[in-house]
Amino acid sequence: MLIAHGVSAKDAAWLLGVDGPAVGIFAYLGAKHMVTGYDHLLFLAGVIFFLFRLRDVVLYVSLFTIGHSLTLLAGVLGDIRANAHIVDALIGLSVVYKGFENLGAFEKVFGVRPNARAAVTIFGLIHGFGLATKLQDFQLPQNGLVINMVSFNVGVEIGQVLALAVMLTAFTYWRRHSSFNASAFAANALLMAAGFVLMGYQIGGYAAESDTHVVRLAADETSPIRTHEDRFLADAVSFAIAPGDFVEYKYQMDEGAPLLYSWQASASVEFDFHTEPQNTESSEAISFDFGEADKGVGSYVAPFDGRHGWYWKNTTDGPVTLTLTTNGFYRGPTEYKSDGTRVPHTLRPQAPGPWLRTQP
């Protein structure tokens, strides 16, 4: 995926499932973003390329961190928005700038020497805003937003320290060899080329976005949109499953109703996602997914009216805790226990925003 700030499907599921403080999740996502965000890494590589003293590295990285943190927090918490393609194109420009500066081209071409500290700070502001534009797409709930964003930012800085440690080790080793001075020009030229690629991709994305034409479906074509009379709901529930026991959890869903889900267990469990059709000739349950795992993330569209859901069995020697988070068009969630009892659960809508479930 060429968009450096892109969010994977798994991480998106975590973000969509959050309602309230989630320090660990956001710190992890922040660290992951930094160590996999090659636009940040390219820029930082350019910043430290000719910094031979540790105190200079600390100074410039701190300036970048201040800028990055300010716009990340201000963008999300203050809901300050901008076109993501334009911001990411500017991030690509920051990489080009550092390569150009490292080549001494400003002095040679323009006869000026820019303020390197100011440039790092300004580009830090742009890098932080680039991530903010992506997080804004998820419309994160206000409940716990401040602590979650602070946790995310802390994670970003942890990831940055880890990435810098690796880069500084590599640079220290490289500088001990004569190839460093001989290759410095080519390395920074490649750095500029990478920045131009990032810029071109984002400018192309912006142009394509701006040049989008609306074409209406023909009369004989089927629309992918399906309307529902009810509002979609959200559900989050946890189960404690003793060794050898099982639990089933199912929703009443109509044909065509969609469901997004994510479940996580403290240990591997036997699972089966199945449906009990209604108003059909067969009364047998139909299994769609089964096996052994400690987590599952996906989407589902009900093929017919009925009860749709999971069976989980603890095949380990110790207790297992399992948490399920869902969003979709459903009703009447019911828990089926090993002892044969049924426990209905109630969904309570709260608008606007996520819907919470109440314990029976």
HSE-CB at 288 with a 13 A cutoff on CA atoms is 14
Q: Report the distance separating Cα 344 and Cα 359, nearest Å.
A: 9
Residues 95 and 13 in one domain: yes
43 and 95 Cβ atoms separated by less than 8 Å: yes
Residue 19 burial (C-beta neighbours within 10 Å; 0-12, 13-18, 19+): middle
- pLDDT computed for residue 277 by the predictor: 84
- pLDDT computed for residue 40 by the predictor: 93
Is there a domain that residue 331 lies in? yes
- pLDDT computed for residue 6 by the predictor: 59
Is there a domain that residue 228 lies in? no
* Count of structural domains within the chain: 2
198 and 91 Cβ atoms separated by less than 8 Å: yes
Is there a domain that residue 222 lies in? no
* pLDDT tens, per residue, the chain with 360 residues: 334 455 666 777 777 777 789 999 899 999 998 998 889 999 999 999 999 999 999 999 999 999 999 999 999 999 999 999 999 999 999 999 999 999 999 999 999 999 999 999 999 999 999 989 988 887 788 889 999 999 999 999 999 999 999 999 999 999 999 899 999 999 999 999 999 999 999 999 888 877 666 677 777 777 777 777 777 788 999 999 999 999 999 999 988 899 999 999 999 999 999 998 876 544 578 899 999 999 999 999 999 899 999 999 999 999 999 999 999 888 889 999 988 889 998 775 544 444 344 334
Residues 161 and 20 in one domain: yes
Is there a domain that residue 237 lies in? yes
Residues 25 and 147 in one domain: yes
Residues 254 and 178 in one domain: no
Torsion sign (Cα): 95, 99, 104, 110 = negative
Instruction: CATH number of the domain at 333, please.
Output: 2.60.120.680
Main-chain dihedrals φ then ψ at residue 105, nearest 5 degrees: -75, -25
Is there a domain that residue 147 lies in? yes
Q: What tokens does 227 get? A: 């309307």
- pLDDT computed for residue 349 by the predictor: 52
253 and 306 Cβ atoms separated by less than 8 Å: yes
Contacts 24+ apart (CB under 8 A), 209-212: 209/83, 209/85
Residues 239 and 340 in one domain: yes
Q: Report the distance separating Cα 86 and Cα 199, nearest Å.
A: 9
Question: Which of 210, 241, 261 is the C-terminal boundary of a domain?
Answer: 210
Q: Report the distance separating Cα 243 and Cα 313, nearest Å.
A: 8
272 and 250 Cβ atoms separated by less than 8 Å: no
- pLDDT computed for residue 141 by the predictor: 83
Residues 198 and 326 in one domain: no
Q: What tokens does 200 get? A: 């071109």
- pLDDT computed for residue 212 by the predictor: 63
Is there a domain that residue 2 lies in? no
Residues 203 and 68 in one domain: yes
Q: What tokens does 207 get? A: 């142009």
303 and 275 Cβ atoms separated by less than 8 Å: yes
Q: Report the distance separating Cα 72 and Cα 132, nearest Å.
A: 5
Which among 48, 1, 66 is positioned nearest to 163, based on CA atoms?
Answer: 48
Residues 26 and 155 in one domain: yes
Is there a domain that residue 35 lies in? yes
Residues 181 and 299 in one domain: no
Residues 180 and 242 in one domain: no
Q: Which amino acid would we find at residue 316?
A: T
Q: Report the distance separating Cα 279 and Cα 350, nearest Å.
A: 32
Residues 200 and 248 in one domain: no
64 and 47 Cβ atoms separated by less than 8 Å: yes
DSSP letter, residue 82: -
Domain that holds residue 44: 9-210
pTM: 0.60
Residues 168 and 199 in one domain: yes
Is there a domain that residue 278 lies in? yes
